[in-house]
Amino acid sequence: MTEFVDLGIDAELLHALADAGYTVPTPIQQQAIPAALSGRDVLGLAQTGTGKTCAFVIPILQKLKNEARLPGFPPIRSLILTPTRELAIQIYESFVAYAKYTDIRCALVYGGVSQYNQTEALSAGVDVLIATPGRLNDLCGQGYIDLEDIELFVLDEADRMLDMGFIDDVERILKRMGDREMQTLLFSATMPQSVQKLVKRLLKEDFAKVEVTPVSTTVEAIDQSVYFVDRENKKKLLLYTLRDPALDRALIFVRTKTGADKVAHDLARAHVGAGAIHGDKSQLDRQNALNRFKEGKIRVLVATDIAARGLDISELSHVINYDVPNEPENYVHRIGRTGRAGHGGVAITFCQADEVPYLRRIEKLIDKTVPVREDNPYPMQEQPHEGRSSGGRSRSRRGGRGRRGLNNNKPQMEAQPAAQQEQQTPQQAQGEQKARRRPRRRRRKPAAPAAES
């Protein structure tokens, strides 16, 4: 069995890995670390939860540790670009843990909070910078950050970066780094056309491609299942599921921000400790909720897809898809929050009638049928919609806003049979026509000007 000591890693870094409880590398670490240590560009393709962060942190630390710093104020030598604040924080924590026996200095910049503490950290000199695109461009524009001396560049979660619309920000960052020769490590869970274009542009021709599992597959250690349930019974089914004594902590995914708040509120009313994180929450509130969840102070964390990637919660027992995700790839990333580092996990999906098409797309992507749970106290009564989905809303809850509903709201006069209308006298018809006519608004005459004295 290959261990970290067999990968040519320095003693200080091996000591830090041992302190963190890691001795055996995951498949992507086993292949990517030696390639990166040799100086080659790396394209890493692996599903979420397979240890991609360590696969680029260790080579960066070893290369920077063995190089002498330039005299004067030390420039930033390595940049890690990531799409979300949560993922940036996780990567920063990994750098701090693995660099504990070195003198390498790391800093973290992301939006949504005051930049004061971030600029103070930069002013002390930084070797490694972990950043989100928006705040990085902002601080570069203000003159706090110079990217011209970057030697190692990491683009993490490249597919997610492009999905979130950061392509223009990434382009500006690439221009700020100039044409300097540097080593590039690009990691992604999927390989869409947009990522392929980035690979051709950023990586050298002799780059090492590391693909340890088929793209967009789910971890085999995760026990996947689905409940078919009507929307009005989802809350009851959730409380029923949370009564399982094997459910230690659960991460619940919903489609919308308001839905996350509502589910967390309903759970709190049922005396279940819960918090919510989504894009409308401040960074402080999101981090507090996440910390309380990690520390076991609350049992449930409700989140939108902003948390589908980047969250590293050790030994998370359950992921519950309260809403089936619109995009099948998000299902892979959601359930990948459990079953990490080889541990087992449970992923349960609540599927209402008009979400069945989403479920079928997921099954096609992962090339397997999600088993149906038989212990369902609230089986679905509505007929499943095997055609186009209506966006997660049951047709029975649309409030009669279809064409028929609009016709029912027409004035009673228009709904009368034609024969009945013909029986009216001309005087009656003329009177009803006047009654239906909108009254005219009289225009006030302007007041006469006051006579001059």
> CA 137, 84, 365: angle at the middle one, nearest 5?
130
**208-211/42-45 β-pairing:** parallel
Query: What distance lies between CA 162 and its chain's CA centroid?
Result: 12
DSSP string for residues in 204-271: -TTPEEEE-S-TT---TTEEEEEEE--GGGHHHHHHHHHT-TT---EEEE-SSHHHHHHHHHHHHHTT
Dist CA 448 CA 453 (whole Å): 15
Q: Describe the strand order of the beta sheet including 128-131 as a list of residue ranges.
A: 106-109, 128-131, 78-81, 152-155, 183-188, 42-45, 208-211
**Tens-place pLDDT, residues 36-59:** 999 999 999 876 667 889 999 999
- Predicted local distance difference test score (pLDDT) of residue 388: 54
User: Is 396 within 8 Å of 382 (Cβ atoms)?
Assistant: yes
Task: Report whether 304 contacts 232 (CB < 8 A).
Answer: no
Structure tokens at 31: 């292949």
Classified as helix, coil or strand, 439 is coil
Detail the DSSP E strand segments found in 25-138: 42-45, 78-81, 106-109, 128-131
Coil, strand or helix: which one is 394? Answer: coil
CA atoms of 349 and 369, how far apart (whole Å):
13
In 3D space, the residue among 78, 82, 104 whose CA is nearest the CA of residue 184 turns out to be 78
Q: Tell me what pLDDT residue 252 has.
A: 95
Say if CB 239 and CB 270 are below 8 A apart.
yes
Both tokens of 231, joined, read 């929307």
pLDDT of 430: 55
What tens digit of pLDDT does each residue of 333-353 get?
788 778 665 567 899 999 999
In sequence order, the 6+-apart residues with CB closer than 8 A to the CB of 410 are none
Q: What's the pLDDT at 408?
A: 41
pTM above 0.75, yes or no: no
Taking a C-beta distance cutoff of 8 angstroms, is the pair 108, 93 a contact?
no
Q: How far apart are CA 202 and CA 190, in angstroms?
A: 17
**pLDDT (0 to 100) of residue 445:** 56
Under the banding of pLDDT at 50, 70 and 90, the label for residue 181 is confident
**pLDDT on residue 49:** 66
Q: Please state whether beta strands 318-321 and 345-351 pair in parallel, antiparallel, or not at all (unpaired).
A: parallel
Sign of the CA dihedral with 230 first, then 235, 240, and 241 last: positive
pLDDT in tens, 97-131: 999 999 999 999 999 889 999 999 999 889 999 99
**How large is the average pLDDT for residues 186-214?**
87
Query: Length of the chain, please?
Result: 453
CB atoms closer than 10 angstroms to residue 198: 21
Please report which confidence band the pLDDT of residue 165 belongs to, taking 50, 70 and 90 as the band edges.
Answer: confident
Residue 15 one-letter amino acid = H
Q: Structural domains in the chain?
A: 4-211 (3.40.50.300), 222-397 (3.40.50.300)
Neighbouring residues of 85: CB distance < 8 A, sequence distance ≥ 6 = 110, 111, 112, 132, 283, 286
What pLDDT sits at residue 419? 38
Q: Where are the alpha helices (DSSP H) in 295-337?
A: 328-335
Q: Residue 218 pLDDT more than 50?
A: yes
Q: Which one, of 70, 53, 112, 130, lies nearest residue 121 by Cα?
A: 130
- Say if strands 128-131 and 78-81 run parallel, antiparallel, or are unpaired: parallel
pLDDT at 199 over 50: yes
Q: Given this model, what pLDDT does residue 307 score?
A: 59
Q: Which of 302, 178, 190 is nearest to 235 (CA)?
A: 302
Region 65-84 average pLDDT: 85
Alpha carbon 264 to chain centroid distance?
Answer: 18
Q: Supply 216's token pair.
A: 């967009």
Interior/surface letters 221-257, b for 16+ CB within 10 angstroms, e for the rest? ebebebbbbbbebbbebbeebbeeeebebbbbbbbeb
Convert the pLDDT of each residue in 84-94 to its tens digit: 888 898 899 99
Amino acid occupying residue 167: I
Which H/E stretch holds residue 318? strand 318-321
- The answer to whether 129 and 91 have CB atoms below 8 angstroms apart is no
Query: Which of 366 and 118 is assigned the larger pLDDT?
Result: 118
Summary mean pLDDT of the chain:
82
- Look-up of token digits 């894009």: 279
Note the pLDDT of residue 308. Answer: 56
Q: Which residue in this structure is represented by tokens 């759970």?
A: 267
Each residue's pLDDT tens digit, 250-259? 999 999 999 9
CA distance 312 to 93: 11
